[in-house]
Structure formats: structure tokens, C-alpha cells
Structure 1
């Protein structure tokens, strides 16, 4: 990483560490793009979760929410699935996911901030969630094996990454074939240049680092994703929107689909027919 990227990452870490300490001390985290406490009419934070979701969780899980949407509401999680939340913070989306996938599923949370991880573990204990695991690390290098996750979610975190292509590549790596993503993130209108995005908010405030709609789609395509949908949900600044991003990692073809149809149907496909002059072996039915 460049010195500038290292500085940006540490600025983000310090911002979220401060938010976690504030919540742990009984306060409320500042929202992603400002200095006011979270309120029901804001475009970031716990107000974007329904009352039913908020009421299911420890109050500090909601108080630490700094996201721009509710990815668990659109990820269509199913019983028994394995879910990974990138930038899991105080654990609100991990805990909601754990409830949705049930005891036969599992929800992982990945965060680089020790203070947020400590808060998430506290919230997990209060929620008595047993199908949850939190990991310390960076979203550009996910500490999980390949092909082990059914669904990747994230809530207003990818815009903070200093290496977004690496994030998308890592999401594709850990997902099983046919796995999917359900992400809430800030996205810029295509005509806004990076300097214009920076005029609307800083990097740690979830604005300056945002990709445009076209850039987001191109990065996902380059990482191998298909069926990409990017849907704006509400405006967070002039020309900047909270959006829900969905995509699928293509599944592997079945053996039958990958074979030459002529070879499948032909009696004399390789290995099918005996050498010339030898009798055909009896079929299985005639041997009983």
C-alpha cells in the first residue's frame, strides 16, 4: 500500500474505534457522515432498521450501527446458510443474520477494529447467539478458506476500502459457486468525478471513497460476478446515494452440461464401445 492508503486506513480505524468506545461508555455513535446522534429521520445508522429488528438486539448493537442500509433485509437469507458480514462493527447485521439462518447456519463478522470486535462480542453474549463467530482482519484479505460462504453482506463499508478490486476478488474467492452478495453502500452518480465526490464529504465519512454506479458494476464484473443489480434507495448527499447491490458468483457447470452432447448420446463415445472384434459386455440387468 502507498503511504496515503495506509494513512486513510488508519484514519478509518481510529474513527470506528472512537465510535465503539463511545457506545461502550453508554453513548451513541455518530452517524457515518456527520456529528449528530442517530435520529429516526437520518440517512445513516440504526433508523434504517425496522423496529422489529432493532428490538431483537442489545441496545448497544443498534447504537453502534453506522451503516447506510439494512443488507439483511435484502440478502434473502435461508435456514442453514453461512453468512459473512464485511466490516461487521458492533455486530448488528451478524446477529440479525444469525437469527435468519438459524441454528444449522452460521454468521461470521469481519472487522479490523479491536474496539468494535470487543463490542460485538459483548453484544453476542447478551443476545445469547451461539452460531456466530467474529474475525479480526481486513476486508481486502478475508481470513477464511475459498468456497466456504453462501452469502456475503456488508453495510456501508466497501466505500471505505483503499483497495476495492481486492475486496471484490476476495468476496468471489470465499463464496461457493452460486453464492451471492447483498450489500448496502454509498454510490455516486456517474457524472461525479472523484474530486467532486470529495467536495461532498471526506473518505472516512463514507463519501469521498465511493464508486460510481458504472465503476461498481465494472469492478464486480471484473471479479467474476454475474446478475448484477444496483438499486438506489435514498440520497445521502448531492449526487450520492445509498444503494443495494446484489450479484451472484456463477455456479460450476454440471458434468453433463459440460460434455459434448454428441459424446453423451453416442454409443461410441470414448470408453463406451469395446475394441473392434471384441464382444460387447453384457448389460448390468443381464448379470442378475
Structure 2
């Protein structure tokens, strides 16, 4: 199992999510009603869900970073792993006409879906780019706020991802990342499972190691602002009480 194989498997899985061949990243999810319920469980309100194109809500994610990022009018926001665009479109409402939101995703089908959603919603202050979060197609020091929703755990090299995030932020810029981490050891076979990687479990780091990775990239004031244990129906009982959904804030 190498980094490229992991990425290709994840890309193929999320291409199916983008084209609705699979309704979401979790085996327990079903149709449209389940997608909405998953979004609500992640922290989105019905008002937020109803305010954006329906196809932007894909039933993935483990938080609502736009609710905690304190995004201001006129800011430039970058969403790492933007998917169908749910967080990009919510952030676009906050930055207004004088701001801009950029979404980055490594899956071409996701970018296509997001662009279609942007056109449908007539968004003038958003942009979507194909790229990997370990090699962002963004200039140094141009971003005010970075958000991400249960995506950084999908990359095998999180230190590079956070170093890239630090690079593109302006001095004084900030991040608000929703992600899964572990609180205790998880089975080795889970770590080696492609399916578990695409389900955001196998790539989850131990909580303290994750925070230290962010700090090691140069960030200051790294702190968890919200956390709760993550569970889903039919979850391997060996994982129960060992997966945490966290919302992390830090500054450059």
C-alpha cells in the first residue's frame, strides 16, 4: 500500500460520490433523505442546506467549518477538498461581492460537479480548481482563511498538506479544519484497508500527533474548539470510542 495507490482509490471512490453512483462515503448512507440527515448531523442547518444548490450537498464531511471560521466580508477563503461545493457556497455568502472563495479538489468529477453547481446558483465570487492539497495551485500569502471538512485525513502526508496551507496564508491568516482523529489504537488491518482510507478512518492520526503536525508546520494557537466521538451504524466494535470528530483552529 503506497501513497499513490491510496490516492487513486480515494479519487475513484469520490468520483462515484460526485456522479451519485454512491450516495456518500459511508456504507450506512442511503438516498436523498439520508444525505440531508447526514449533513444535519455534521452540523449544517436546514436553512444553510436550503440556501445552496441541492447537488452541492453530498452527505460527506464530519463538521461545518464555515459555522466556526468567523469568515468576514471581503476575505479570500480557500476550501481544501471542496467536493460538490457546499462549504464554498456557504462561505461565499459570508465574504460577499468584495470577497472570493476558492475550492480545491483532486477529483475531476468533483470539480465538474462544483462548477455545474456554481453556474446553477449564479455564483460570481467562487472559483474551483483541480489540485492536490499537498501541492496547492495557489500563490504564496494570498489567502485569509482556510477551511476543510474531513479531507486532510485522506492524505498520507499531512505534514506537507499543512505546510502548504501555511505557505498560501497571509500573515495573520487562520485555519478552521473539521477532521477525524483517533483516541486510542485502531486495528492494523483497518490501517491497511483501502476502503477504510476512503471512509476517512485509516488515515486518521492520533489526536495529539495531529495537533503537533499543525504546530510543526508553523501554526500558532493550535486548539480544538469542538469535539465529539464519531460513530456510524455497523461500525467495527473495535473502533467504538476511538474515533473523534474535531474542529481545529490555528493561526499563521
Q: Check whether TM > 0.5.
A: yes
- The equivalent position to 1:240 in structure 2, one of 240, 243, 247, is 243
CA distance in 1, matches of 2:35, 2:18: 20
Runs ≥4 in structure 1, deviation > 3 angstroms?
44-47, 196-201
Give the match for residue 215 of structure 2.
221
CA distance in 1, matches of 2:139, 2:152: 20
Aligned in 2, Cα 1:196/1:241: closer, same or farther, shift over 3 Å? farther
Aligned in 2, Cα 1:194/1:45: closer, same or farther, shift over 3 Å? farther
Give the match for residue 182 of structure 1.
176
CA RMSD of aligned residues (A): 2.1
1:83-102 maps to which residues of 2 (within 5 A)? 83-102=77-96
The structure showing larger relative contact order (alpha-carbon pairs under 8 Å, at least 6 residues apart) is 2
What TM-score comes out, normalization by structure 2 length?
Answer: 0.88
- The equivalent position to 1:104 in structure 2, one of 84, 98, 102, is 98
- The equivalent position to 1:33 in structure 2, one of 19, 26, 33, is 26
Is there any run of 5+ residues in structure 1 with no aligned partner, and where? Answer: 24-28, 250-288
What TM-score comes out, normalization by structure 1 length?
Answer: 0.78
- The equivalent position to 2:127 in structure 1, one of 122, 133, 136, is 133
* Contact 2:24/2:35 (<8 A) preserved: no
Give the match for residue 274 of structure 1.
none
- In the comparison of the two structures, how many residue pairs are matched? 239
* Contact 1:32/1:45 (<8 A) preserved: no
Give the match for residue 14 of structure 1.
12
* Contact 2:103/2:128 (<8 A) preserved: yes
| CA positional deviation for 1:21 | 1.1
Deviations 1:229-258 (A, max 9, x none): 123134235110111011011xxxxxxxxx
Give the match for residue 235 of structure 2.
none
Is there any run of 5+ residues in structure 2 with no aligned partner, and where? Answer: 232-238
* Contact 2:40/2:46 (<8 A) preserved: no
2:117 aligned with 1:123, yes or no? yes
